[in-house]
Structure 1
Amino acid sequence: MDVAIDTPAKTFIEVTEVWVPDGDRLVLAEGDYGALGAFEAASRRESFARGEGLPGKAWAEARPVVLKGFDGSYFKRTEAATAAGLTAAVAIPVFAGSVLKAVLVTLCGDDDSRTGAIEVWREQDGLLMLDDGYYGAAKHFEWVSQHTHFPRGQGLPGGVWAAKTPILMRDLGSGYRFIRADSAAKAGLTTGLGLPVPVPGGKTYVLTLLSAKGTPIARRFELWDARAARNGTANEARLIDGICAREGALWDPDNAGNERTVAAWQGAIGRVLGTGVPLVQGGKPGLAAGYDSMVALPIHQGGELAHIVAWYL
């Protein structure tokens, strides 16, 4: 029997949405809005043309976009967002080759205690430089990040760049592999998820989600390898790494019998495997381990589904 987890009063991300193409516009497929019913209602009335609003900008420019202030910007739901206490957003386009599958949008609030990081790194002159990021109250860590760059293979962003796969990193404040460990420890950041964001045109983008215990991005992370399905050997995804605040490691590389797989359309991960489109669930029974919400984000390589990353609160 699954035991419900005590969800913290504040999370770093407050809203997550999936916008999908419908003709020449993006429409809301699903979203997790928590108690922000008025903002949800405003969102369900909305749609976006290419280049319009935050989802439309990520679509038109074929890149992840960070927006750290809504007033006077191209953001279309500013009044509803302000009333809900939302202050920043990140849009992540999901492309399969040149075809847009969806845009995943996360929205955050801001106060003196909300700490975490959503970062977008972009390759420039052979190095990964910070394109933009949202850090909440972690101002010193933000400054350090703005003055840090990564060669291929170095740190979490550089490791993702070199491997072209998502990477889950533990103990950010003490791990020698995390280049910004000292400032991460001071900010209370503990777990990092890095993933490639493939886009048309061959430009390199890496997204990193850095979670703190007090205001976590997630309590559980999972990495699934879907390349077996792409290669035609099996229509399934295999869990290759994972960590849970309650359960610890979810995967044991030394125990082949511990391998976990899901087939297409089997559960939430299987749905993403079948559609190639992100999934967001919130406030529904049946989520893994009694969590309240989950996000599953597919990563396409060479036009085919290669990985699925999932996080749960």
Structure 2
Amino acid sequence: MLENVKEASDAAATTAKTFIRVTEVWVPDEADGRLKRAGGLYGDLTEFEAVSGKEIFALGEGLPGKAWAEQKPIVLKGFRGSYFKRTDAAEAAGLTAGIAMPVFAGSRLTAVVTFLFGDDSEHVGAVEVWAPGEDPSGPLALQDGYFGTADHFAWISRHTRFPKGMGLPGKTWESGRPKLFHDLGISHRFLRSDSAADAGMTAGLGLPVSAPSGDTHIVTLLSALGTPIARQFEIWSLTGDGYFTVSDGVPDRLPPSARVTPGEGILGTVAATGVPVATGEPGSAIVAIPIHRNGKVTDIAAWYF
């Protein structure tokens, strides 16, 4: 029975429209320091892809530049009349909201990752930003987020606090490493499981986002069966012998001895450079985001489409 449920879930995740419609990676240009596009996943939004490939962002400019300047994840829930630079092209593509997440290795910005969303009646999922309030020891409160049509879940999230070690945001904060929660609707570890089940949420990924100032924000990506974040999630962690192995996820396609050598392949390049990637075609596309601790990549959160 469990196998049949898993097969149905995998099939739905493979064919369903994804919650995140566009993923982009912007990196500092060596010549002038502005952000240029280093990769992206656009699906069938070819015109928006073409417009985006011509953009460059200075510090504080556009959504990527603002996240860079403020050194924290930034959520933008409406493009018209905002600092977003590609509004006409985004609206033509059906994109209405986005989040930008800076990736720092110590004090050095390696990239800004942007996720863009489209608003429609079947859009279920969430991307949240959590941080402590005035007390840096916590608890975590919701700073901002995008919830698609999950209005009740959004209300619950705004009224929930997470001490260190509690729930997906709190456990991610406590460990300083990415965390993956499965079966959100029934998980005793997920404090909002009842409302997650009502909203159709199925899996959650927590990502720590550190700033040169020492501040930490937690970004959580919550996936639904009908509009999943991705087909599969994996977390790769550094081992004592210098390789990366899967520490969580659904590594059905991998042998137990699978490992990543820094510098080899897509994940190995992420491990060696500390720069995220978003590349590939539907059915074989990957997003991989490095997590830095003390200026060194210790984990890689990867998901596949």
Q: Percent identity?
A: 56
Cα shift readout 1:51-83 (whole Å, capped 9, x = no counterpart):
000000010100011111101110000000000
Q: Confirm whether residue 100 of structure 1 aligns to residue 92 of structure 2.
A: no
How large is the RMSD of aligned CA atoms in angstroms?
A: 1.7
One-letter identity of the residue aligned with 1:237: F
1:1-313 alignment, distance < 5 Å: 7-22=14-29, 23-124=32-133, 125=135, 126-226=138-238, 228=240, 233-234=241-242, 236-243=243-250, 247=252, 258-283=256-281, 291-313=283-305
The 1:189/1:5 distance shift into structure 2, 3 A limit, reads closer
| Residue aligning to 1:288 | none
CA distance in 1, matches of 2:195, 2:22: 27
Structure 1 ranges of 4+ moved more than 4 A: none
How far is the alpha carbon of 1:5 from its aligned partner? 6.4
What CA distance in whole angstroms lies between the structure 2 residues aligned with 1:9 and 1:191? 15
Following TM superposition, by how much is the alpha carbon of 1:283 offset from its aligned partner in structure 2, in angstroms? Answer: 1.3
Q: Which runs of 5+ in 2 are unaligned?
A: 1-9
Cα distance in structure 1, aligned partners of 2:257 and 2:155: 41
Letter in 2 for 1:66: V
Task: Note if contact 1:8-1:214 (Cα within 8 Å) is conserved in structure 2.
Answer: no
The DSSP-based 3-state class of the residue aligned with 2:28 is: strand
More strand by share: 1
Aligned 8 A contact 1:227 1:307 in 2: no
Q: Distance in 2 between matches of 1:263 and 1:169?
A: 26
Distance 2:109 2:273 in 1: 13
1:273 Cα deviation from its structure 2 partner: 1.1
TM-aligned CA deviation for residue 292 of structure 1:
3.4
Aligned partner of 1:170: which letter?
H
> 1:35-54 CA distances to partner (integer Å, 9 max, x unpaired)?
11110111011100000000
For 1:258, what is the secondary structure of its paired residue? Answer: coil
Q: Within 1, Cα distance between the matches of 2:104 and 2:67?
A: 11
Aligned positions, number: 290
